[in-house]
Amino acid sequence: MEGLARSQINPIHATFTQYRSSFVPAFSLQFKNNLTSGGILFMKPSQSCNSITASVQPLKASSLGHCNNTLPSKEVLELWRSADSVCFDVDSTVCLDEGIDELAEFCGAGKAVAEWTAKAMGGSVPFEEALAARLSLFKPSLSQVQDFLEKRPPKISPGIDELVKKLKAKNTNVYLISGGFRQMINPVASILGIPPENIFANQLLFGSSGEFLGFDANEPTSRSGGKATAVQQIRKVGLIHISFMYDL
């Protein structure tokens, strides 16, 4: 994954952790550099904890046994308190699953697409190449996407809703930055009360009859390094001062 070159952005690593307490963030952070107050966080899972399939309802404690349930350190808590903005990845972070894999499985191409997803996450192929290859395997129509959204509601990770509420209560800006698709992320944002303008994601394109045409290559998240680009776009608007960042 690409690192960020700008010296004012000190990268941090995030590890996804399921937890039982409703009063702590769902992530623990491993610091690479000293952090200054204020700034933006980007929360993204590592592969050290496998995602769990579940409904929107909170998981039972017994379902979380395979993950380490640890309270965050004082440094982590202070980082959350001092951040001006927090950006969340969506797949396997805010949501329990990989959206494109779920859509592909719904359309009958789950196994083949999941293999490509593993390649994309491993960095062995450029993200834009993997995205195009995965979509070409099942070419979802508009009606299939709509049917999927109706029959497969978002599987929100336990505690995320309360975490976002606490951040918003502190006037912390919350963004969703994802390599997934707006059509599938909009319902997630609606559940969490995150406005559409705070979403950076890809857009599926359809023809006049609802046939699949592709995806919008102009979206920054449609290519490798796109999440870092999205954060830089947020910064250019002047809404926040970025002093640290997860290295994408």
Is 161 in the active site? no
Residue 202 and residue 147: Cα distance in Å, rounded? 19
Instruction: Based on the residue annotation, tell me whether 89 is a catalytic residue of this protein.
Output: yes
- Catalytic one among 91, 147, 161, 247? 91
Give yes or no for a contact between 166 and 237, defined as CB atoms under 8 angstroms apart: no
Helices 182-192, 99-106: axis angle to 10 degrees equals 120
Structure tokens belonging to residue 239 = 């809404």
Active-site residue, selected from the candidate residues 84, 89, 101, 247: 89
Pairing status of strand 173-181 against strand 10-16: unpaired
Tokens of 184: 């599938």
Q: In which residue are the tokens 């001092």 written?
A: 82
The span from the CA of 209 to the CA of 69, in Å, is 48
Contacts 24+ apart (CB under 8 A), 21-27: 21/71, 22/159, 22/162, 24/71, 24/72, 24/77, 25/72, 25/76, 25/77, 25/80, 25/163, 26/157, 26/158, 26/159, 26/160, 26/163, 27/72
Local structure of residue 17 (DSSP, 8 states): -
> Two tokens at 17?
């952790």
Question: Catalytic residue positions?
Answer: 89, 91
